């Protein structure tokens, strides 16, 4: 039968207050860190969950658990660092605080199977994974030659081919397996962060970065053909993979191979709390340059009213199609050069362009930035040794003018190398430094909320865990009153 709702969020608040008075009449018996979690959840309204998931329940059969209580309970398990659903179901039975804070009567809490039934309703696909278990062996990434470098992409499609294809594709959230999870995340958390002024969706500065998500210590697969019985040990036949959406990738930060996903996260870099906007899980071998495109254009389709004004990306995204797209869309790119271009590039037969895009004179000296002309879309550089009073002090001056030789670098010549603001300017460096917000956000998900400790075997469960961690990141960013209203109510009663 359909779930029964009892008065919405106000009824939940009264329920928690009554049980706190009953089981914890002395508020000082609860640690301060636990009180912060209690206050957060007491103020968290999950009424949309009940309304949104109503149609996913049958009108027949036994009465199910209230969807908002199931979601709240799973969020609490992550907040209290309980990574196993089996352990959490046991904690609900023995810890009254966990039970009534979830919204359940003490002594009447759900089991492990009830949680998995709830997750089925959050996953809009019959299969638990995106790919079939039996598929060909994927190409393995090669170990990079330089320590700390990212592995080369194994995809045969280039960025120049992939970008226009995804740009002209319209993605519908209803067609995505994680569609319901995204709707809950957007309506109950992301939109509320926007309304609180934590994210400016009218002029969004977006930082992107990929991070490894290790799901197992090794790749689990076995043969489904009979080649081995025929003496063929190196056949290329399809294999059965226990985690079909995962493969082997290279972790550049730890210089090792790993098995799992590549999580690409888009973060609002101008938000004080490094708030996530949209995530996407891909196989571990996915290069960041491709992961960004798949994530970014899905985000644009799912959040059409979000206007991106800046893109902050690392050197893995340093490709000409990115700059050309940003120019078309009036987006200011802040992308670090990857070091493979821009060195010893001859410009007008007299000058070379340094690694950071700054011109070098004939003597190899870096020229001084002398202003920008946005209307003409060009940047001006001036001789570093020239003085308006005495002229150039160089032994072999480039110009007889006291002002010194000047060079104008136009965006149309090479938008990858020449930016406004210039890469050597304080404005560019200050803005680019905000790109680390994506790394800090990934750190919170993986270390603070123990994303990888889930030890799941299906993409469905990894997405469920990931989206609920993102919800908690937004929840933590919302300001609480200086003094707990809930604690005051209990003390007043006492």
Q: How much is the pTM?
A: 0.86
Q: What is the mean pLDDT of residues 36-40?
A: 92
Q: What is the mean pLDDT of residues 437-450?
A: 94
Q: Give the containing element (helix H, strand E) for 454.
A: none
Q: What percent of the chain has pLDDT over 90?
A: 60
Residue with more model confidence, 373 or 215: 215
- Tokens 């493979």 belong to residue: 340
Cβ atoms of residues 412 and 458 within 8 Å: no
- In angstroms, what CA-CA distances link 50 with 42, 109, 184, 384, 454? 17, 18, 10, 66, 26
What pLDDT score was predicted for residue 297? Answer: 98
What pLDDT score was predicted for residue 346? Answer: 45
What pLDDT score was predicted for residue 350? Answer: 63
Cβ atoms of residues 333 and 313 within 8 Å: yes
Kind of pairing between the strands at 308-313 and 332-335: parallel
Residue 283 token pair: 């196989």
Alpha-carbon distance of 486 to 489, in angstroms, equals: 5
In this structure, of 121-135, 256-270, 367-381, the range with the lowest mean pLDDT score is 367-381
What pLDDT score was predicted for residue 386? Answer: 73
In this structure, of 86-90, 108-112, 314-318, 471-475, the range with the lowest mean pLDDT score is 314-318
In degrees and rounded to multiples of 5, residue 457 shows phi and psi of -120, 0
Cβ atoms of residues 267 and 277 within 8 Å: yes
Alpha-carbon distance of 131 to 246, in angstroms, equals: 10
Q: What is the mean pLDDT of residues 58-68?
A: 86
Residue with more model confidence, 487 or 118: 118
Q: Is 438 helix (H, G, I), strand (E, B) or coil?
A: helix
What pLDDT score was predicted for residue 371? Answer: 82
Alpha-carbon distance of 114 to 73, in angstroms, equals: 12
Per-residue pLDDT reduced to its tens digit, 260-316: 999 999 999 988 889 999 999 999 999 999 999 999 999 999 999 999 999 999 989
Alpha-carbon distance of 225 to 228, in angstroms, equals: 8
What pLDDT score was predicted for residue 345? Answer: 46
Whether 43 shows a pLDDT value over 70: the answer reads yes
- pLDDT tier at 342, thresholds 50, 70, 90: very low
Average pLDDT, the chain: 88
What pLDDT score was predicted for residue 420? Answer: 78
């Amino acid at each position: 039968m359909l779930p029964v709702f009892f008065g919405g969020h106000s009824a939940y608040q009264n329920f928690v207050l009554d049980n706190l008075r009953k089981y914890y009449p002395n508020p000082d018996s609860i640690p301060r860190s636990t009180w912060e979690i209690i206050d957060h959840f007491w103020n968290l309204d999950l009424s949309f969950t009940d309304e949104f998931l109503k149609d996913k329940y049958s009108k027949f059969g036994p009465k199910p658990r209230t969807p908002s209580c199931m979601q709240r309970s799973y969020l609490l398990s992550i907040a209290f660092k309980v990574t196993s659903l089996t352990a959490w179901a046991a904690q609900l039975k023995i810890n009254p605080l966990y039970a009534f804070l979830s919204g359940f009567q003490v002594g009447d809490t759900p089991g492990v199977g009830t949680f998995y039934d709830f997750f089925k309703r959050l996953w809009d696909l019959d299969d638990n994974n995106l790919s079939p278990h039996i598929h060909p062996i994927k190409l393995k990434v090669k170990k990079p030659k330089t320590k700390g470098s990212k592995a080369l992409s194994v995809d045969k499609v280039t960025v120049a081919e992939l970008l226009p294809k995804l740009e002209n594709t319209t993605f519908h959230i209803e067609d995505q397996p994680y569609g319901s999870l995204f709707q809950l995340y957007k309506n109950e958390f992301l939109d509320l962060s926007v309304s609180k002024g934590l994210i400016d969706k009218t002029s969004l500065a977006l930082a992107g970065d990929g991070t490894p998500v290790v799901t197992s210590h090794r790749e689990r697969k076995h043969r489904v053909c009979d080649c081995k019985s025929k003496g063929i040990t190196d056949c290329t036949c399809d294999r059965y993979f226990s985690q079909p959406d995962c493969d082997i990738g290279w972790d550049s930060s730890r210089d090792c191979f790993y098995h799992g996903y590549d999580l690409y996260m888009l973060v609002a870099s101008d938000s004080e709390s490094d708030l996530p906007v949209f995530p996407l899980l891909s196989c571990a071998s996915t290069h960041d340059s491709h992961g960004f495109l798949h994530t970014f254009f899905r985000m644009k389709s799912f959040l059409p009213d979000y206007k991106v004004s800046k893109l902050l990306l690392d050197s893995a995204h340093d490709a000409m199609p990115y700059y050309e797209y940003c120019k078309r869309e009036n987006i200011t790119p802040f992308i670090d050069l990857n070091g493979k271009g821009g060195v010893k590039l001859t410009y007008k037969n007299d000058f070379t362009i340094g690694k950071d895009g700054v011109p070098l004179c004939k003597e190899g000296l870096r020229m001084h930035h002398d202003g920008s002309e946005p209307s003409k879309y060009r940047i001006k550089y001036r001789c570093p040794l020239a003085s308006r009073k005495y002229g150039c002090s160089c032994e072999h001056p480039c110009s007889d003018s006291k002002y010194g030789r000047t060079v104008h670098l136009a965006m149309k010549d090479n938008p990858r190398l020449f930016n406004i603001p210039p890469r050597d300017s304080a404005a560019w460096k200050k803005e680019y430094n905000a790109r680390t917000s994506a790394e800090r956000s990934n750190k919170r998900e993986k270390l603070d909320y123990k994303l990888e400790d889930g030890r799941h075997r299906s993409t469905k469960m990894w997405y469920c865990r990931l989206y609920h961690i993102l919800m908690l990141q937004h929840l933590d960013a919302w300001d609480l009153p200086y003094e707990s209203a809930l604690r005051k109510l209990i003390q007043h009663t006492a």
